[in-house]
Amino acid sequence: FSQGDEGKSWYIILKGSVQCSIYGKGVVGTLHEGDDFGKLSLVNNSPRTATIILNEDNTHFLRVDKDDFNRILRDVEANTIKLKEFGKDVLILEKVPINVKTSDGTYQVCYKYSVMSGTAEKMLGYLLETYICINCEEADTSLEDFFSTYVIFMPTNQICATLLTIYKAKPQQRAGEQMDSTLREKIKVIRFILEWHDVTKETFFEDPKINVFLDELHQLMRVDVKVYPQLKDEMKSLETIMENDS
């Protein structure tokens, strides 16, 4: 499958090997007999985050479709999902219970996968993909836990640098998607920053690197808004929080 495709199956390699390639980074690892791939997009119900290429012609797989995968996950109550690159864990997610209010006013327990550790790029990419909805007025409250504890994972300058990298990236267009993928990622980064500011309030500007980061981002947006007029509202929101600190 290719990066951006809908996740429909989980694969286990029975024989042979495959290469894992990410747009803009190239090949990030090789998977061999006994390794598996494809579960992250099934867990999050999100597009594929990488392209899988056969390394050998006579490669055999065990393919598990999405419904069977979800049943297996539910039955074994898998608490941890790990994503690897070059043999190292780059993202670790842990299943956590949350209470969800139903239409009749009662609550039922559902499960989400919360970020436990990983690289800055993978953690932020997961959060942007999973918790930032460009068609929703309210952000997912699960982000509040991350904003309260992110200093454990990475310093502020690293989170800012990674967000800038994601903002400036040019991702591949996803099949059947109406909105331009580049615009989509830019909006998600801005929404993430706005939510970060709303959650942390006055402590948001305690680190002076934040101001430098916002200034650089604002300059980029002034150029981008000429190509993507849809960014006007996002830019106004960013300017509002910048003015509040002045």
Residue 158: which CATH number? Answer: 1.20.870.10
For residue range 195-217, list pLDDT tens digits in order: 999 888 878 888 888 999 999 99
pLDDT at 42: 83
For residue range 60-90, list pLDDT tens digits in order: 998 988 888 877 766 555 677 777 777 778 8
What burial letters (b/e) apply to 74-94, b meaning 16+ CB within 10 Å?
eeeeeeebebbbeeeebbbbe
Q: Considering the entire predicted model, what is its pTM?
A: 0.64
Domain span at residue 160 reads 119-246
How far apart CA 39 and CA 61 sit, in angstroms, is: 14
Identify whether 34 is part of a domain.
Answer: no
For residue range 91-117, list pLDDT tens digits in order: 888 777 677 667 777 877 666 777 878
Neighbours of 41 (CB within 10 A): 22
Identify whether 170 is part of a domain.
Answer: yes
Strand order in the sheet with 17-22: 26-32, 17-22, 51-54
Judging by beta carbons within 10 Å of its beta carbon (0-12, 13-18, 19+), is residue 190 exposed, middle or buried? buried
If one counts the domains in the chain, the total is 1
Identify whether 242 is part of a domain.
Answer: yes
Identify whether 75 is part of a domain.
Answer: no
Identify whether 76 is part of a domain.
Answer: no
